[in-house]
Amino acid sequence: MSDTQWINPRQPQTLYIAQFLLYFSAVIAIFDPPPTGVFSNFAIRNLLLLIIVFGSAGGAFGIANHKRWGYIMGIVAAIAPFLIRFELARQIDIGFAIEWNIIGGMFDIATVAALLHPMSRDYQKIWFR
């Protein structure tokens, strides 16, 4: 039997919640991508979308299996939506960047907070390989 798992409930609650939030952000990024007309370079938009989708799912899977690369990938994927919001604010206006997917923005903040919480950082320093 394989030791890999998708969710690890034995980790601290901050990492446990971060796993759910990362999976959730991967699914939301598929069904609600950033607006198309914002990015002048279509490749940059798709790259950020791939980072969010595969980085979030891969990061959550890595965190569940005590992998340091999963923790780092999760942090990068959790910060990527902020780059999109910054680009929206720079190109269109700050109001649209704030209003676009405001509930998703709250989940993004919660994901970053859960991953960078001292309990999460200390746990991954000790137990992740």
Question: pTM for this one?
Answer: 0.85
Give the start-to-end residue ranges of the domains of the chain. Answer: 50-129
pLDDT attached to residue 60: 95
pLDDT attached to residue 98: 63
pLDDT attached to residue 115: 95
pLDDT attached to residue 82: 82
Q: What is the DSSP string of 30-59?
A: HHSPPPGGG-SSHHHHHHHHHHHHHHHHHH
H/E segment holding residue 72: helix 68-91
pLDDT attached to residue 21: 94
> 52, 77 in Cβ contact below 8 A?
yes
Model pLDDT for residues 99-120, shown as the tens digit of each residue: 666 777 788 899 999 999 999 9
> 48, 84 in Cβ contact below 8 A?
yes
CA distance 17 to 1: 26
Nearest Cα to Cα of residue 16 among 123, 125, 108: 123
